Amino acid sequence: MKPTLSSEWLKLRSVTSTHHAIGTAAMTVVLGVAWTLYVSSLAESRGSLRAAAPEQGFLPLVQISLAVLGVLAITSEYATGMIRPSLTAVPKRGTLLLAKAGIVGLVTLVAAGAVLLVTYCTSRLIANGRHLGFNDTSFADDLPMLLASALSVAALALVGLGLGAAIRSTAGAIVAVVALLFVLPGIVNYLPPPWNTRVATLLLPNLVPQIADQRLSSRLGDGFLPPWAAVAVLLAYPVVALAIGYHLFKRRDA
């Protein structure tokens, strides 16, 4: 298993798409600085202002950027034909997919954590002394939200890997991830109550605040999961996606 992990790490870090995906996610830092400077200028004229925290407002950018990395970790091998040498070197498809999942999960978790932490620190430094709402809490209070956000990014990247193994198409898998992250939450709003609230609490974008033990927005009513249940639901997403991907990966020819 160790040689397989080493080769997957080598493949992931040697392709330019990995650097592009992480670089796009790192744009959150720049956007966070710009956002903080903007709301700080407004606060100077108004005295105080309640603004969204940049590490939360721009979290979808980090999620979708690194989900693309998860998709490309396997679909790029199908596109280039490298999947055949990979399967020749590692005939057990479960081992190959598990190694990919381990590397993708670790890389995206570390990258997301670093990006979100730097965004958090720079925004608080710029906002120092100003009343912007998001800088009224301590780092200890915000740490659960940061950890939950990084975990959600890694989970979504693994969902992308599983969907990539199942669909074998980069475009198709990315569309599926985008639908899961952005389209499905909008559709759920049109369900009759109380099903709109019940289903909404289980969707990826709404799991992060629940993991951090925060109430959801008022538009979701009283829907709320305890942190342990929200973590379990979040982890179920990549488990199901990888299980489906493995099932189809094992049954089909390379």
Is the confidence at residue 200, as pLDDT, over 80?
yes
Would you state the pLDDT for residue 41? 84
Band of pLDDT at residue 216, cut at 50, 70 and 90: low
Would you state the pLDDT for residue 47? 64
Would you state the pLDDT for residue 60? 96
Would you state the pLDDT for residue 217? 53
Would you state the pLDDT for residue 81? 86
Q: Which of 116-120, 122-126, 215-219 has the highest mean pLDDT?
A: 116-120
Would you state the pLDDT for residue 1? 67
Would you state the pLDDT for residue 131? 73
Distance of alpha carbon 124 from alpha carbon 51, whole angstroms: 13
Would you state the pLDDT for residue 91? 84
pLDDT digits (tens, 9 = 90+) for 56-109: 999 999 999 999 999 999 999 998 888 888 888 888 999 999 999 999 999 999
pLDDT digits (tens, 9 = 90+) for 159-173: 999 999 999 999 999
For 138, half-sphere exposure in the C-beta direction (CA atoms, 13 angstrom radius) is 2
Mean per-residue pLDDT for 104-121? 97
Mean per-residue pLDDT for 179-186? 93
pLDDT digits (tens, 9 = 90+) for 125-137: 988 877 777 777 8
Better-predicted residue by pLDDT, 91 or 145: 145
Q: Provide the whole-model pTM.
A: 0.92
Is the confidence at residue 219, as pLDDT, over 60?
no
